[in-house]
Structure 1
Amino acid sequence: MKRSLLSALLLVAVALAPPSPALGAPADPVHVDVDVRAGLAPVATGALGVNHAIWDSQLGTPAVSDLLKDAGVQMLRYPGGSYADIYHWRDHTAPGGYVAPGTDFDTFMAGARRTGAEPMIIANYGTGTAQEAADWVRYANITKGYGARFWTIGNENYGNGHYGSEWEADNHADKSPKEYAANVVAYSQAMKAVDPSIKVGAVLTMPGNWPDGIVGTGDTGTWNAEVLTRAGAAIDFVDVHWYPGGSSAAETLTKSSHIQDAVHLLRQQISRYAGQNADRIQISMTETNVDVGRNTQPGALFLADVYSGLLAQGVFTVHWWNVHNGLGTVSTVAGQTDYNDFGLLSSGNCNADNTVCQPPLNTPFAPYYALKLMGAFAHPGDRFVSAGTGDPLVASHAVRRPNGDLAVLLINKDPDNARTVALNYHGFTPAAGAPAVTTYTNGADGLTTATTGSATGQTIPPYGISLVTLHSANSGALLPAVGRPTATTTDRTATISWPSAGSGLKYEVYSAGSQLGETTSTSLTVRNLEPGKRYTINVVARDNSGRTSAASPPLTFTTGTPADAPCTVKLRDTNDWGNGYVGSIDITNNTGAPVTNWTLTFAWPRSWQSLGSGWNATWTADGRTVRVTSENALAAGATTNVGYVGNYSGPNVLPEVFTLNGKVCTTA
């Protein structure tokens, strides 16, 4: 997905479909519910990032560094995508690629310091060695005292040809994830021997994106499973990229709905394969961008929505690809000229015959202003809280400041119509008066800030982004947040426990905006839950004067299925090709009598999943509900097998709840 400044000039023309207009402005306001009791992830230091590349002659210049500082950039990645796997830092060369003058490591670090951003450095896996990486750590942190904390081993190394597609340099005779994992261990040991304080990351693939789910020839598992199993103990974070695609701006802007499941599945993989203390392993997202509207408002809307969504799910840093990239195929998107340039800032270049040129060098494109708005929205130390809306064309995100203030980000994905938003607050009372609102609109060359609307009502322009900042009506500091809860679960109950936050406190337990119970103890058993359902829980403390704490860190768990069910179902993904798979289902009759004319029923967890075909029974699908019927008797204690082809175009969350003739089965 990455292209250099030179190769960007050679992009094949792609027809860019304009965004689909809405049928008409909605008559009723969009209701946005903001619940400060439903705490999500905190904003980490270094959360807002962007890529620098050694073929960019503007890397580290004062003009660029100051623009990035003004946007609130907190982390810079170097030396640039796939170039990292051909780059040798000591002599500043990249055999087979172009290296611009004035882009060496020290120049990069000077620019990063001027920006006020810390570095994310990619060690050369493809054509480098562990010793070369260790020497780089020594130079950076011992010789120069740069204090570079984050080091990733390679870039998109699954693209080395092992799965067929080959764009990433890899001189190793063995291209397998097993070999990559062995080298990650060697690199980590060599680098940490120089500076034990550094954090080392391994490259994984984002769930729902190629080659997720694919088992290569000679492998025992997927890329992620192999790398985590073999190198999990040697790493501190995993690094993923996400280019979700989409044939139109409208389609692209729906892809943020994949984030929660993709991050959840990635955490499941880390927990399952990375060994002891796997929960210490963090997630970074160091490349993302769009296919349609890269320099215009769709790119801006995508950036604001996706940075917020990923950070809210605990990804510790998110990076746009790229600062500069170069002119591509020019088109008009949402009424604005789009240069099909991956960069935040104009490269100021022209096409081969000089008939089309970009704006002057370093002119900000629309995503730059969205990033600047993110810098005003999410500060290190803030915590994301739940903000939801039922309108697919309006996205909402919110953070709670340490002083109790609230910031709400509203994104209107409708290119033609303004949206009136009714804001509802839970656990928060806004101060009287109109709030400060910072807005970025389609085609604007900057942000505007005004005191407008009210705390409960705002109008978001077409294709607009608005940041509403609210002071709390309740004076006084918040109580300290309760520590992270834990849970033990059955199919219908969860016993939730948490550390004491002090004496004389009452604790309230919330999920999805609903209070599940309250207690003066440090545990609570919640009943009447749904089998096989994912829940996210927060705990809030309240003292005798009514002061509350910030929400605890979130706890997410999935309830089980009944242990004494009359049936057992075992589902296996036996063959996966990246957008579809073969599912094999074993159905066991646990009763002492045969089951005749049976129907197995389950639902696709997500709208982007569907049934392709099925066998060994009659398969029918009605929306997301799938029914598998058979007239054959299933004898007492017997097992039968049925199978299907499932299609997916996002994170493939497998079904977890099955009923046989209306009875919930145990899932093996």
Structure 2
Amino acid sequence: MRFPRLRRVLAGGALLAAGALVHAAAPAADASTVPARVTVNTRAGLATVPGTGIGVNHAIWDTHLGAAPVADLLKDAGVQMIRYPGGSYADIYHWQNHTAPGGYVAPDTDFDTFMSGVRRTGAQPIVIANYGTGTPQEAAAWVEYANVTKGYGVKYWEIGNENYGNGHYGSQWEADDHADKSPAEYARNVVAYSQAMKAKDPTIKIGAVLTTPAGWPDAITAAGDSGSWNQTVLSIAGPSIDFGILHWYPGQSGMADMLTRPAQIDDMIHLVKRQIAQYAGAGSSRIGLAVTEVSSTVGTNTQPGALFAAEAYARLLENGVFTVDWWNVHNGIGTVSEVAGHTDYGDWGLLSSANCAGDVCQPALNTPFPPYHALDMLSVFARPGDQMVRATADEPLISAHAVRRANGEVALLLVNKDPDAPREVTIDYSGGFAPAAGAPMVHSFTNGAAGVSAAPAGTATSQVLPPYSLTTVVLRPATPVTGAPGAPGQPEVTAVTDTTATIAWTAATPGSRPIVKYEVHRQAGATSDQWGETPGTSFTVRNLLPGTRYTVNVLTRDAGGGLSWASAPLTFTTGTPAASSCSVRFTDNNDWGNGYIVGLDVTNNDTEPLSAWTLTYSWPTAWQQINGGWNAGWAQDGRKVTVTSLEGSTLAPGATTSAGTVASYSGPNVLPAVFKLNGRTCTTL
């Protein structure tokens, strides 16, 4: 459970400081003598890199907001989106008179100054309308001023910031003058804000605040509410919004644990997308996702913070998030310690604020901290229009991400999370890409370096990664690809059962040769399995496994054997049998944010009684666990859970028995979907 971050104004009022952080040194890892194996699969397409992906936060208490040197540094790092007016200050900020009652507003931080800096950077703005102490009319006037009067073209508007922190769930840090502080009241007001703001400019995009899976207060249903924050907000405001807003400050137990947290992103985004599809109504596929605050929470201005930033951004972009915004440009010195051989100033900013804590002072104003260089590395690695593709590593201290570019190049981002030892990696390629011979261009950011360096190094199939480093390898194709067909349109799925699904897509544009067929490929980690091919634009796949999440791509093949890029990915989950000899209802009851009470109802749909039974299921993730149980025997081995009937009990035909356990989780809580009773797959209710 993530508790709210403490926010306070430093003496002198210039900068916001984070609360005290606990620092733990990463344990030394034994250097492996066996090279790690990295595989790049260019046939397994993920999301396309947006032009707003690399973002940061600016705040009105930052004296240097909008300053030319800051704007230029952000431009040099490739920043594409800048958020304003700064976290919780957004809910006390009144743009027309540039005041924030109860908070500090630095000189020269008004909206026009902010926009001047944004334009100098070459970025897009994302603006937070005041929900806590503002009105729809105030927000609408801001839209009119920004886009009609001034012609700034501010496209993205958030309605409030972390408004679940208004005391409704117990903790309170966000200003909220509404008498009703429930998610339903927030959602009703989002509708009113959206209507008023779009009346001034119908082209803008409106975002609603959502909770992040496994982050407080996600999944909690407060007294008087009919559902969790996300369920309630999406059910009411879904038709009126264009994107959902997440903040991610992952909990951790130290530096090494923090660096494992980006592995939870796939499930985190999957759960939110599923909530949107379930609750937001017709046409919910149009609703995008923005992660408008993210930080490492420990080692924030040291090399581990940079490694976390690079991987968090890469994974979020792979999953289709349209902007990821680091907290913050400047933040100020906090608790000072030593991390990875360097001073950690406890500063959540990208750039030094040049202030002191006791006898310890930061470097000169605007000196970049390591996460700044991580953003610089990301802008080298993933450019707007590139397609993220699947890359894997067989060593837990190595992470790999890849893109393919329109000119045929492939760029590979490699993260070495070993604090002590260099790691050799061998690189394989599947999906049709063959790299050119010779030393590729390698961009590197190492622990203690002043910036990203670049030089030819290694080979396309072998690289050595320094300890605690970021490395981007840019690879040219051995043979230029010309005249290839276009990729098919976004696939969609219908008629999903426990074993079948029908996938359809829009036709591709031919290249230099006619299109002869489309191939449907399932992503299987580092490789792809071809499910089939068809000359048409739909395909029914059979023999699927019940309750299984699949990600597929469709590719175009032409008369000369040329192959297109992969389509955008399609992810779907099969159901369970419509009729079975058993049925199971698994319920998440009384969720408190990192655990809940499991309700398990097992029904015998057969014609014969069961004098003894065994039910099995597997947790979808490694961070889920049972704790005790009642009305049955409960045991867990790895991810597999076994539930057995009590001695002497009988389950008659048509009868239902109920049991339960307490489940805990330390990451996104994906519920199990498949249950087997005495080896038979049950219908999941």
Common fold: TM-score over 0.5: yes
CA drift of 1:58 comes to 0.5
User: Are 1:341 and 2:356 counterparts?
Assistant: no
1:436 aligns with 2:441: yes
Q: How does 1:363-402 map to 2 (within 5 A)?
A: 363-402=367-406
Q: 1:77 to 1:208 in 2, by over 3 A?
A: same
Residue 17 of structure 1: how far off its partner (Å):
1.1
Select which of 649, 661, 664 maps to 2:678.
661
1:474 aligns with 2:491: no
Cα deviation, 1:290-324, whole Å, max 9, x if unaligned, reads 12210001100000000000010000000000000
Shift of 1:347: 0.2
Q: Once the two structures are superposed, what CA deviation does each residue of 1:9-60 show, in whole Å capped at 9, x if it has no partner?
A: 87665441111110x2112111111111111111112111000000000100
Whole-angstrom distance in 1 between the partners of 2:292 and 2:17: 24
Cα drift, residue 418 of structure 1? 1.1
Stretches of 4+ aligned residues off by more than 3 angstroms: 2-5, 7-15
2:585 maps to 570
- Measured in 2, the distance between the counterparts of 1:389 and 1:131 equals 52
Query: Which residue matches 1:421?
Result: 425
SS for the counterpart of 1:422 is strand
Conservation of the 8 A alpha-carbon contact between 1:584 and 1:644? yes
TM-superposed CA distance for 1:490, in Å, is: 2.2
Match of 2:557 in 1: 542
Retained in 2: the 8 A contact 1:9–1:328?
A: no
Q: Distance in 2 between matches of 1:420 and 1:122?
A: 45
Partner of 1:510: 521
| Residues 259-298 of structure 1 aligned to structure 2 (within 5 Å) | 259-298=265-304
Identify the match of residue 55 of structure 2 among 26, 49, 53.
49
> Helix, strand or coil for the counterpart of 2:454?
strand
Amino acid at match of 1:393: L
Taking the aligned partners of 1:83 and 1:203, their CA distance within structure 2 comes to 15
Aligned to 1:221: 227
Match of 2:178 in 1: 172
Mapped to 1, the partners of 2:232 and 2:507 lie a distance apart of: 39
Q: Separation in 2 of the partners of 1:418 and 1:98?
A: 46
Q: Secondary structure at the match of 1:453?
A: coil
Q: Which residue of 1 aligns with 2:328?
A: 322
TM-score (norm 1): 0.98
Distance apart, 1:560 and its partner CA: 1.4
Q: Deviations over 1:86-130 (max 9, x none)?
A: 000001000000100010000000000000011000000000011
**Contact 2:39/2:428 (8 A) holds in 1:** yes
Q: Which amino acid aligns with 2:323?
A: T
Query: What SS does the aligned partner of 2:590 have?
Result: strand
Matched, 1:17 2:24: yes
CA distance in 2 between counterparts of 1:187 and 1:2 reads 28
The one-letter amino acid of 1:195's match is D
| Conservation of the 8 A alpha-carbon contact between 1:3 and 1:325 | no
Moved more, 461-470 or 10-19: 10-19
Cross-structure match for 1:639: 656
- What do the CA deviations read for 1:218-259 (whole angstroms, capped 9, x no partner)? 000000011000111110001010000212110001101110
Q: Which amino acid aligns with 1:469?
A: V
Distance in 2, Cα, partners of 1:448 & 1:134? 46
- Matched residue of 1:348: which SS? coil
Conserved 8 A contact 1:498-1:523:
yes
What is the CA–CA distance in structure 2 between the aligned matches of 1:467 and 1:10, rounded to whole Å? Answer: 33
Structure 2: which amino acid aligns with 1:507? Answer: Y
Give the aligned partner of residue 245 of structure 1. 251
TM-score in terms of structure 2 length: 0.95
Distance 2:653 2:97 in 1: 72
- Which sits farther off after the overlay, 491-500 or 265-274? 491-500
User: Match for 2:154: what amino acid?
Assistant: A
Q: Which amino acid aligns with 1:475?
A: P
Task: Note the C-alpha offset of 1:3.
Answer: 3.5
Deviations 1:582-623 (A, max 9, x none): 111111111111012101111111110000121111111112
Q: Shift in Å at residue 524 of structure 1?
A: 3.0
* Preserved CA contact (<8 Å) 1:5 1:56: no
Q: Give the conservation status (yes or no) of the 8 Å contact 2:16–2:331.
A: no
Aligned to 2:238: 232
User: Structure 1: which amino acid aligns with 2:471?
Assistant: S
1:560 to 570, 575, 595: 575
Select which of 156, 166, 171 maps to 2:162: 156
Q: Is contact 1:4–1:325 with CA below 8 Å preserved after alignment?
A: no
Superimposed CA distance per residue, residues 463-513 of structure 1 (whole angstroms, 9 cap, x where no aligned partner): 011001111223234421111222333222333232232554222221122
How far the C-alpha of 1:426 sits from its partner, in A, is 1.1
Give the aligned CA root-mean-square deviation in angstroms: 1.4
My pick for the range that moved more, 483-492 or 9-18, is 9-18
Give the CA deviation at 1:2: 6.5
More divergent stretch after superposition (481-490 vs 260-269):
481-490
Deviations 1:188-209 (A, max 9, x none): 1000000000000000011111
SS in 1 for 2:356: coil
Shift in alpha-carbon separation, 1:397–1:605, aligned structure 2, 3 A = same
* 1:350 CA drift (Å): 0.9
> Does the residue aligned with 1:642 lie in a helix, a strand or coil?
strand
2:598 equivalent in structure 1 = 583
Could you say if the C-alpha distance between residues 52 and 4 of structure 1 is closer, same or farther in structure 2, counting changes exceeding 3 Å? farther
Question: For residue 457 of structure 1, what is the aligned residue in structure 2?
Answer: 462
On the 8 A contact 2:6/2:19 being kept in 1, the answer is no
The residue aligned with 2:534 is: 519
State the Cα distance separating 1:523 from its structure 2 match: 3.0
Q: Distance in 1 between matches of 2:20 and 2:229?
A: 32
Corresponding residue SS for 2:145 = helix
1:213 and 1:578 in contact (8 A); partners too: yes
> SS of 1:208's equivalent?
coil
**More displaced 10-residue stretch of structure 1: 477-486 or 317-326:** 477-486
- 1:69 match: secondary structure: helix
Relative to structure 1, is the Cα distance of residues 197 and 15 closer, same or farther in structure 2, using a 3 angstrom cutoff? Answer: closer
Aligned to 2:507: 500
Tell me if 1:360 matches 2:364.
Answer: yes
CA distance in 2, matches of 1:590, 1:316: 47
Distance 2:592 2:115 in 1: 41
In the alignment of these two chains, the number of paired residues is: 665
Cα distance per residue 1:74-93 (max 9 Å; x no partner): 00000000000000000100
Give the distance between the partners of 1:361 and 1:653, measured in 2 at CA. 44
Provide closer, same or farther for how the CA distance between residues 308 and 12 of structure 1 changes in structure 2, counting only shifts above 3 A.
closer
Q: What is the percent sequence identity of the aligned residues?
A: 60
Gaps of 5+ in 1: none
Check conservation: 2:17, 2:347, Cα contact below 8 A: no
Q: Alpha-carbon deviation of 1:370?
A: 0.4
Instruction: Give secondary structure in 2 for the equivalent of 1:613.
Output: strand
Contact 2:515 / 2:556 at 8 angstroms: preserved in 1? no
Give the residue type in structure 1 aligned to 2:248. Answer: W
What whole-Å deviation, never above 9, does each CA across 1:123-176 have from its counterpart, x for those lacking one?
Answer: 000000110000000110011000000000000000000000000000111110
Q: Which moved more, 1:148-157 or 1:428-437?
A: 428-437
Aligned residues of 1:2 and 1:81 also touching (Cα < 8 A): no
Could you tell me whether the CA contact under 8 Å between 1:5 and 1:325 is conserved in 2? no
The equivalent of 1:332 in structure 2 is 338
Contact preservation (8 Å) 1:4, 1:55: no
2:634 to 619, 638, 644: 619
